[in-house]
Amino acid sequence: MKPLLSIRKLTKRFGPGCEQCVDESRWGEIDANACPNCGTVWALRGLDLDLFPGEIVGIVGESGAGKTTLVDLLSLAAVPDYGAAHLANWRGGLHSIYSASDQEKRHLSNVHISTVYQDASRGLLMGISSGGNVVERLLASGERCIGDMRARAQYLLDYMELQGLMDVRTGRLSAGMKQRVQIAKALVHRPSVILFDEPTTGLDVSVQARTLDLIRKAQREHGFAALLVTHDWNVLRLLATRALVLKAGRVIERGTVEQLIEDPQAPYSQLLIHSSTT
């Protein structure tokens, strides 16, 4: 099976870097993400990952581990210092998505790689109706028939259990509803990859369960592959099949979700698992 998204040596640093911290072979020794010598912050160091069609891979780690940087890089909101990401269905997977022009990047993040943010205001226009938010993606790719676009948006919003809310201003919806509008928006072009950045953090438990359930359903029926950034093991267990544990910008452990939950090996992974309430 060929990977859909193939990420190689993805690295992002904030600062000039010095001889000491640029040396890849010594990354294992560095425990913090800031270089003790020059102070350069290494948000992500040499991340490798193959994402296969139809699977959900979890990205676990504390704040500052590099999760959000990874989402920013893959959603093309930022560029890496080095490393590449190849998407199988864009230019035959021959070119890294970071070699795309700005216009191509807009197309990529509109059609191929969607993102669902923890903060809905990053992904949605609050002054526009929820239907308008979904339709925006269709408008951006040149569709000009209101009737068709509204039918598509209506279907997706109903699918996300948002019946009758199509023409309501997004800013007036509850937090859980906004997340579901984001998911509907993410689905509209049937993207091959969706990035979920803490999609249910901050929602109350019942709303969280419902949202997760809708993500599961959408994943089963639409068949996208996804990266799920979370620090909640229950969310991970429910949605993902395998996962990476990030610390200080490095992958310190990877395996099936079952392995990571049953048998975490790195000290940091054990700390994460046993800090979780269940």
- Binder among 18, 27, 89, 136 for another protein (CB under 8 A): 136
* Residue 204 in the binding site for another protein (CB under 8 A): no
Q: Specify the residue for token string 């969280």.
A: 208
> Of 12 and 137, which CB lies nearer to another protein in the complex structure?
137
Residue 29, CA atoms < 13 Å, CB-side half-sphere: 9
For 45, residues 6+ apart whose C-beta sits below 8 A from its C-beta are: 11, 27, 66, 248, 249, 250
Contact mark string toward another protein, 91..110, x via CB under 8 A: -----------xx--x----
How many residues appear in the chain?
278
Q: Does 30 bind another protein (CB under 8 A)?
A: no
Q: Beta strand 41-51 with 5-14: parallel, antiparallel or unpaired?
A: antiparallel
Identity of the residue, 89 or 234, whose beta carbon is nearer to another protein in the bound complex: 234
201 binds another protein (CB under 8 A): no
d(C-alpha 182, C-alpha 170), whole Å: 10
For residue 46, the 8-state DSSP code is E
> Can residue 176 be called a binding residue for another protein (CB under 8 A)?
no
Sign of CA dihedral 207, 174, 180, 50: negative
Q: Which of 37, 99, 174, 265 binds another protein (CB under 8 A)?
A: 265
Which residue, 197 or 253, has its beta carbon nearer to another protein?
253
By CB under 8 A, residue 207 contacts another protein: no
| Cα–Cα distance measured from residue 67 to residue 243, given in angstroms and rounded to the nearest whole number | 12
The binder of another protein chosen from 77, 175, 267, 276 (CB under 8 A): 267
In the block, residue with structure tokens 């054990």:
270
Query: x/- string (CB under 8 A) for another protein, residues 34-63?
Result: ----------------x-x--x--------
Which one of 9, 91, 95, 237 is in contact with another protein (CB under 8 A)? 237
Residue 126 to residue 124: CA distance in whole angstroms: 6
Measured from the CB of residue 23, what is the shortest distance to another protein in angstroms? 27
